[in-house]
Amino acid sequence: MVIELGKRVAVVPGGVNVGVLRGEGGQLVLVDTGLNESNAKKTLKTVREEIGGEVVAILTTHAHADHFGGNATVVKRTGARVYAPARDEAILRYPLLAPALLYGGADPLDSLRVRFLLADPSPVDEIVRPGRIEVAGVPVEVIPLAGHSINQVGYLVDGVFFCADVVLPEAVLAKYRITYLFSVTDHLQALETAAQVSYEAAVPGHGAVVVSLNELIALNRRLLDDVAERVVAFAGDGATAEEILARLLRHYEADVADAPAFYLLQPTALAFLSHLQRAGRVSQAVRDGRSLWRAT
């Protein structure tokens, strides 16, 4: 099903919302492609039957497998050119970097080499940077939204803001309690940036299309603030990052029962600690072979 959002803009809703831009001469541009080959095939079938034309480009918002896992299939079937933000593009080309980064930069566990974390490699033809670009004759404003990933971006087209994962819907937050962040510092700035964008409709990576992001921004910000306060409290007079994470998971009753879930949140705890150290709220020191964090 295609939901029309304007003369040149539509979205195929799903687990990951896929944007569709109508370019010149029947050319189509996708914003993200979903998790895997199956998602990509369904999207291509839908847009060909309901819109017509052919996909010539993919605008990737960020390098998480659920957003670019269909890229390889779309490229194979259409020859589409792939656009991606700097730094994130390295993970599109070398997807093993994603689980390796979660695993502290080491050779990742086999249990981390799963489809949700490890996509098929995607070519990258163009690096996108904040500012105005044109794709298939469609003017696109690239909005910097780093934080959820190293260098996530959003795309603003004809008053429609494809805002990636800068906000997550209440249902996702209720299910996972704490969600992955590469940088809390950058993510807080991304929320401020998103709040300043002028648009008529916003398309989050997950969840419903909305006319205003204000409530979602406030909801996501409240969770960030609450987690930050808990991290400071759990650091106390001295605790390791893993101890702090265990206390967070118990506090939020987060269902973490396997390696992928754990190793998505371990770096998130570290991201909070980095942010809080910059703010002067925690300090770090190595004692007796352990990296200890303390509230200041």
Kindly report, residue by residue over 231-245, the tens digit of the pLDDT.
Answer: 999 999 999 999 999
pLDDT score of 175 = 87
At residue 255 the predicted structure's pLDDT band, cuts being 50, 70 and 90, is confident
Domains of the chain plus CATH, in order, are 3-214 (3.60.15.10), 223-295 (1.10.10.10)
Would you state the structure tokens that stand for residue 222, as one six-digit string? Answer: 């409240």
Q: Contact, 72 vs 122, CB < 8 A?
A: yes
Residue 66 has a pLDDT of 97
**Distance, CA of 127 to chain centre:** 17
Q: Give me the pLDDT at residue 238, please.
A: 96
Record the tokens describing residue 276, joined without a space: 């809080």
Task: Please report the pLDDT score of residue 172 as a whole number.
Answer: 92
Q: What percent of the chain has pLDDT over 70?
A: 100
pLDDT at 18 over 90: yes
Report the pLDDT value the prediction gives residue 177, as an integer from 0 to 100: 86
- pLDDT tens digits for 169-220? 999 999 888 999 999 999 999 999 999 999 999 999 999 999 999 999 999 9
Of 147, 171, 179, 165, nearest in space to 213 by CA: 165
25-50 mean pLDDT: 96
Separation of alpha carbons 82 and 61, rounded Å: 11
**DSSP code at position 134:** E
pLDDT at 185: 98
**Stretch 163-170: mean pLDDT:** 97
Average pLDDT over residues 122-149: 98
Q: What is the mean pLDDT of residues 46-59?
A: 96
The β-bridge partners of 133 are 140
With CA atoms as reference, report the closest residue to 5 among 15, 14, 18, 171. Answer: 18
pTM beyond cutoff 0.95: yes
For the chain, the average pLDDT equals 97
Per-residue pLDDT at 286? 97
pLDDT, tens only, 65-103: 999 999 999 999 999 999 999 999 999 999 999 999 999
For residue 52, pLDDT over 90 is answered with yes
pLDDT at 176: 87
